[in-house]
Amino acid sequence: MSPVFFHVDLDAFFASVEQHDNPSYRGKPVIVGGLPGDRRAVVSTASYEARAYGVHSAMPLATAVSLCPHAIFLRGRYKRYEEVSRQIMTIFQEFSPTIIQMSIDEAFLDMTGTERLFGASPDVARKIKEKVKQETGLTVSIGISSSMYVAKIASGLQKPDGLTIVPDGSETNFMLSLPLNKLWGIGSKTQKKLEGSGFFSTKDIYLKSLPLLQNLFGNNTGTFLYEAVRGNKELKFGTEAKNHSISAEQTYDFDLTDRYAIDTALMELSLHVSYRMHHENVRSNTLALKIRYEDFTTVSVQETSDFPIANADEMFHRCQRLFSKKYIQGRGIRLLGVSCENTQSKTSPEQHGLFDFENSAKKNKLEEAICKLQEKHPEISVSKARLLR
DNA sequence: TCTGGGGTCCTAGGACCC
DNA sequence: TCTGGGGTCCTAGGACCC
């Protein structure tokens, strides 16, 4: 028996939530991402009414304002979106014991062998759409295939409120009917590269041998392309330990040049990352710093030490060292980012530095306490004195 | 029009070890 | 004396996704 996968994708999620919660927004262009005049903002989600004006995700907000000045602009209510997302994921769980959530607004459902329980795939898909609509007022688009990769692409083809079924056995034909830019995992850079080598369609790729593709694009990309255009691409979702990371970054309205402002920013980011590490009960030995200069060139430095980063204070000092190592004096900074890579669960055995262990442990406890306090009373802002301007 | 924030994965080169 | 080959870890940068 072939497997059956649904890929379910919410339509213009953030904008749709706003239109649902606020009926006066319905039928009008809604743009979530920022207010007109916000510096350095981008479009997070545009409603379909706004897309008709050419507005799309990741577009600079200023561009969206000029394309569609009469749109309703919103900064976004992410807590609310998470709440609705949880509600919808719960609905999915009623239909499949195995769901893989891909992001806040999409998930795979393994529907293999559920026919007897719920009925034929198209009927179940319609039931899911109905139930989501009923309980949240939102529409979803669904792709159905024996391959998760194909289902993912299928769900995007008939948005919004779409249902695209790729019958078992027709995966390759389906893939060969698509333009290159529909391939999931092929972005604009790779597409340019493909075109540079004379590949303009999935068929052009299909006609070449695996060794030739590997030769042209490297082992990995070559194999990916070969499998993808056949609809054979397997998506692996390892439950095994992966390299996770926790990061925070901030684009500043105006470039930073002053060292005091930079240090304050680094401390803010360190606190943010550190609290999240406490919250998720993980630690990390690797700290990475990202600097984006005013001309958008981006550099990074990272450092792995023998012992985990003990607390926000230590993270801040490590950040300062990395910063001094990399920063080109005099250049304006538009973004700073701090990231802990390769995080490990705190339940796994820890190696302590012999040195200053007790002191670190105390700071750790303090920060954990602050973390808990902040969770309990989010209205209280607990922060380093320096951050209180 | 002037480019968010949070992630993951891949590549290529260097260090180091046997 | 002018130098192998494999494995692993680390780093910087880049591509991609939502």
Question: Stretch A78-100: mean pLDDT, rounded?
Answer: 97
pLDDT score recorded for residue A386 = 67
Residue with tokens 């688009």: A141
Higher pLDDT, A360 or A194: A194
- Closest nucleotide (C1' vs CA) to A290 is C12
* Nucleic strand B under 7 Å from the C-beta of A40: yes
* Tens-place pLDDT, residues A148-199: 999 999 999 999 999 999 999 999 999 999 999 999 999 999 999 999 999 9
pLDDT score recorded for residue A238 = 63
Judged against a pLDDT cut of 60, whether residue A129 lies above it is answered with yes
Residue A123 binned pLDDT confidence (cut-offs 50, 70, 90): very high
C-alpha to C-alpha distance for A192 and A318, rounded to whole angstroms: 39
- Closest nucleotide (C1' vs CA) to A222 is B10
- Residue A91 near residue A137 (C-beta atoms within 8 A): no
CA to C1' distance (Å), from A153 to C17: 13
Q: Nearest protein residue to C9's C1' (by CA)?
A: A304
* Tens-place pLDDT, residues A230-240: 999 888 776 56
pLDDT score recorded for residue A1 = 84
Residue A389 binned pLDDT confidence (cut-offs 50, 70, 90): very low
pLDDT score recorded for residue A70 = 98
Residue A84 binned pLDDT confidence (cut-offs 50, 70, 90): very high
CA to C1' distance (Å), from A173 to B4: 38
- Closest nucleotide (C1' vs CA) to A13 is C18
Question: Stretch A80-87: mean pLDDT, rounded?
Answer: 98
**A106 is known as an active-site residue:** yes
Hey, which residues does A250 pair with through a beta bridge? A336
| Helix/strand/coil (H/E/C) assignment for every residue in A166-230 | CCCCCHHHHHHCCEHHHCCCCCHHHHHHHHHCCCCEHHHHHCCCHHHHHHHHCHHHHHHHHHHCC
* Nucleic strand C under 7 Å from the C-beta of A300: yes
- Residue A267 near residue A365 (C-beta atoms within 8 A): no
Question: Stretch A264-268: mean pLDDT, rounded?
Answer: 97
pLDDT score recorded for residue A227 = 96
Question: Stretch A360-369: mean pLDDT, rounded?
Answer: 66
pLDDT score recorded for residue A343 = 95
* Nucleic strand C under 7 Å from the C-beta of A103: yes
Written as six digits, the tokens of A301 are 């430095």
* Nucleic strand B under 7 Å from the C-beta of A244: yes
Q: A284's torsion region: left (phi>0), alpha (psi -120 to 50) or beta?
A: beta
- Closest nucleotide (C1' vs CA) to A61 is B1
Residue A367 binned pLDDT confidence (cut-offs 50, 70, 90): low
pLDDT score recorded for residue A29 = 98
Written as six digits, the tokens of A30 are 């809604």
pLDDT score recorded for residue A387 = 63
CA to C1' distance (Å), from A234 to C2: 48
CA to C1' distance (Å), from A94 to B18: 55
C-alpha to C-alpha distance for A53 and A43, rounded to whole angstroms: 13
C-alpha to C-alpha distance for A42 and A207, rounded to whole angstroms: 40
Residue A91: φ, ψ to 5°: -60, -45
pLDDT score recorded for residue A347 = 79
Judged against a pLDDT cut of 90, whether residue A364 lies above it is answered with no
Judged against a pLDDT cut of 50, whether residue A266 lies above it is answered with yes
* Nucleic strand B under 7 Å from the C-beta of A63: yes
CA to C1' distance (Å), from A218 to C6: 21
* Nucleic strand B under 7 Å from the C-beta of A284: no
Residue A36 binned pLDDT confidence (cut-offs 50, 70, 90): very high
- For chain C, which bases have at least one atom within 7 A of a protein Cβ? 9-18
C-alpha to C-alpha distance for A233 and A365, rounded to whole angstroms: 47
Question: Stretch A100-123: mean pLDDT, rounded?
Answer: 95
C-alpha to C-alpha distance for A51 and A70, rounded to whole angstroms: 13
- Residue A256 near residue A333 (C-beta atoms within 8 A): yes
* Nucleic strand C under 7 Å from the C-beta of A191: yes
Judged against a pLDDT cut of 90, whether residue A360 lies above it is answered with no
Judged against a pLDDT cut of 90, whether residue A356 lies above it is answered with no
Identified catalytic residue from A18, A106, A268, A367: A106
pLDDT score recorded for residue A236 = 78
* Tens-place pLDDT, residues A274-330: 999 999 999 999 999 999 999 999 999 999 999 999 999 999 999 999 999 999 999
